[in-house]
Amino acid sequence: MKKNFTLGILTLSVFILIFISCKKEINTALNSSNKLSAKAEVSTSNEKIAADLLVFIPCANGGAGEYVELSGFLHATTHVTVTGNNFHVKYHTQPQGISGVGQTTGDKYQATGVTQEQYGGSFVNGQYEDTYVNNFRIIGQGPGNNYLIHENLHVTINANGTVTTLIDNFTADCK
């Protein structure tokens, strides 16, 4: 749960730092050529990423909770478009064959869900927008030990570098 949240925030933070550091160089290039090409540059990648997670399921083991070691793969698709002075990135991941066993009870668990993120902005003025949605479910045997993680994150930064929107709704529920 915290790993997914931290990964989303870390991704956003790294991107913002890279974006801010590149802004000056791009502005210099713009000033010397007066405009970037309006032709769209497009890139798409599909990856299979090994995933090993240790997750605490608080509702497992009759409510006493237990750690579940999960392993399998994530399918990740990334699509990047750069057009002139703007960029847009769409990122999509979903578990494939991620399963595990409770370390206390031996119960079997299956991971399902999807994570999507779209962000984009301007190379010229620093305007940026990011939307991240994560639905991650760890489904256990029997009733009452399913762990559902959901997060919606949205941030908007205007051309002056001011964060005008920051929304982070995070829930983790047992059902």
Residues 59-83: pLDDT tens digits?
999 899 999 999 999 999 999 999 9
- Report CA-CA distances (Å) from 34 to 64, 85, 125: 64, 11, 14
Mean pLDDT across the chain? 84
pLDDT at 83: 95
Percentage of the residues of the chain whose pLDDT score is greater than 70: 78
**3-state helix/strand/coil string of the chain:** CHHHHHHHHHHHHHHHHHHHHHHHHHHHHHHHHCCCCCCEEEEEEEEEEEEEEEEEECCCHHHCCEEEEEEEEEEEEEEEEEECCEEEEEEEEEEEEEEEEECCCCCEEEEEEEEEEEEEEECCCCCEEEEEEEEEEEEECCCCCCEEEEEEEEEEECCCCCEEEEEEEEEEEEC
pLDDT at 21 exceeding the cut of 60: no
Strands 128-140, 66-83: pairing kind: unpaired
How high is the pLDDT of residue 4? 43
pLDDT top residue among 21 and 137: 137
At residue 23, the pLDDT reads 40
In tens, the pLDDT along 38-51 reads: 688 999 999 999 99
Residue 157 has a pLDDT of 97
pLDDT of residue 79: 97
What is the arrangement of strands in the sheet containing 66-83, beginning at the earlier edge strand? Answer: 40-57, 66-83, 86-102, 108-122, 128-140, 147-157, 163-174
Residue 26 predicted with pLDDT over 60: no
Residues 110, 94: Cα–Cα separation, whole Å: 13
Paired with 42 in beta bridges are 81
C-alpha–C-alpha distance, residues 85 and 122, integer Å: 6
Please count the other Cβ atoms lying within 10 Å of the Cβ belonging to residue 72.
17
Domain span holding position 57 = 2-174
Tell which wins on pLDDT, 147 or 12.
147
20-48: average pLDDT: 61
In this predicted structure, what is the pLDDT of residue 39? 84
Structural contact between residues 144 and 173, judged by C-beta atoms closer than 8 angstroms:
no
Q: Structurally, how many domains does the chain consist of?
A: 1
**What confidence category does residue 143 fall into, taking pLDDT thresholds of 50, 70 and 90?**
confident
